[in-house]
Structure 1
Amino acid sequence: MRVHKATKVTCAALVVAASLSLTACQSDDDGGTGQSAPSSAATVPSADGGTQESSGSGSGGSSSSGKTSGGQNAASGTGSGQSGGTGGTGGSGGSGGSGAAGGLGKCRTSDLTITASDATVGGDPDLTVAVQFKNRSGLDCTLSGYAGVDLKTNYDPVSAKRSGEKAGTSVLKAGKSTYFGIHYPANKTGGTGVRIMGLLVTPPDETRTVTLAWPGAPSLPVTESGGDPITVGPIGSAGQGE
């Protein structure tokens, strides 16, 4: 009976030991799992770290995108700068304002339609041809002083002298006209005299000359002393203007 009891005790001890051993195994498994869990936890941070790196790469991409965005801003800034430059150019369009500050320009030969007509009035000692300047430019312009006048003849050209009248400055409006007179002596010698072949007119302060048909008497008298001079009046000295 003692032996049987001892066997029971031994078996009980073995069962306890087995339980302990099983518990230990489970503890080891749990410990392994615990180790695995840290390992898994290490993996997760690592994965997170990878994600963070990936995210960091993504952030880098974002940063790169930010740089791109910054680059775009810089391009936009450059564009603004260029735009500002354009504004400067617009400012320079303000130099056109300087042209406006210069006032009206002088009438050029190309701005004028120039014609001549006989304007002799009966009873006058001298004969007269009136020269018309009509502004065809579309813009107002100014004229002052005397025009240059030469008569083409069958000999040498004959230049008209200024009459000495005071010459002012006048505004010739677009489409309007002004006149001046050429005064010359009549040929009363009974001879053919000096034949007049044409009229050369140069507007004041211009170098371009216009050649016109002569509308007056056909000749000038020939005299030993040179005779009476041909004279020209200042701009605006003949006619009413229009």
Structure 2
Amino acid sequence: MRVSRMTIAALAVVAGLSLTACQNGDAATDRNDSGASSAASAPSSANGGSSSGDSAQDTAKDSNKDSSKDQGTVAGTGSNKGGKVGKCRTDELEVTAKDATIGGDKDGTVAVEFTNGGGRDCAISGYAGVDLKTNAGSLSAKRTGEQAPSVVLKDGRSVSFAITYPVNDSGGSGVRITGLVVTPPDETKSVSLDWPGGSSLPVTDGSGTPVKVGPIGSAGQGG
């Protein structure tokens, strides 16, 4: 009977040990599953970190692009506001006129020169307004119709245009010229000059002006 009791006790101990081992095994399995689960979620965290890094890099790239644009604007500005070349104003131009008639030509020529003294580059194109003062009243020159180039006139540089008129070889006094009025293109302020050409024009039948004006640049561009 004593032997049977010992056997039963021994079996109980073995069963207890087996139960403990099973519980420890299950706990280890749970820990392994938890670790595996954490490891499985790690790539998502890593991807999240990469995405944040890409976002920061994109922000830096965009910032660099914006910075480049700003530098481009500054570099293109030069001495003119906003990088644009404004038109030449009458007050910025020194206006002079001289006789440019070539011997043998049937018409006389006067060259009018604009010199940029405004301290900045400026744009000028088209036709200047030209009026001759005469003893018979004011006489407006007619445009030749030539194409007018666009000119960026550097500070200190000059550009000219030509006025042509018929030479008075009639033997009579003709129409006496007393002065010249020039208005730069796209301006309303005029400059009055002495007339450097022939002293008179032949009398016409009044059908039209005999005086013609060429576009800016038609008499060459000086230095």
TM-score normalised to structure 2 length: 0.62
Q: Indicate the percent of aligned positions where both proteins have the same amino acid.
A: 62
How many corresponding residue pairs? Answer: 146
When residues 239 and 168 of structure 1 are mapped into structure 2, their CA distance, relative to the original with a 3 A threshold, is closer
The 5 A counterparts of 1:49-198 are 100-101=81-82, 103-198=84-179
| Residue identity opposite 1:144 in structure 2 | S
Q: 1:224: Cα distance to partner?
A: 2.2
Q: What SS does structure 2 have at the residue aligned with 1:170? A: strand
Aligned to 2:29: none
Distance 1:102 1:229 in 2: 42
- The C-alpha deviation readout for 1:167-189, integer Å capped at 9, x for no partner, is 12110000000000000000011
User: Which consecutive unaligned segments of at least 5 residues does structure 2 have?
Assistant: 1-73
Decide which structure has greater helix share: 1
Q: What SS does structure 2 have at the residue aligned with 1:157? A: strand
Which portions of structure 1, spanning 4 or more consecutive aligned residues, are displaced by more than 2 angstroms? Answer: 99-102, 223-228
TM-score normalised to structure 1 length: 0.57
Select the structure of larger CA radius of gyration. Answer: 1
User: Which consecutive unaligned segments of at least 5 residues does structure 1 have?
Assistant: 1-93
RMSD across aligned positions (CA)? 1.7
Aligned to 1:208: 189
Q: 1:226: Cα distance to partner?
A: 4.3
For structure 1, which segment, 232-241 or 143-152, has the greater mean C-alpha deviation from structure 2 after superposition? 232-241
Q: What SS does structure 2 have at the residue aligned with 1:101? A: helix
Conservation of the 8 A alpha-carbon contact between 1:221 and 1:227: no
Distance 2:93 2:221 in 1: 18
Aligned to 2:200: 219
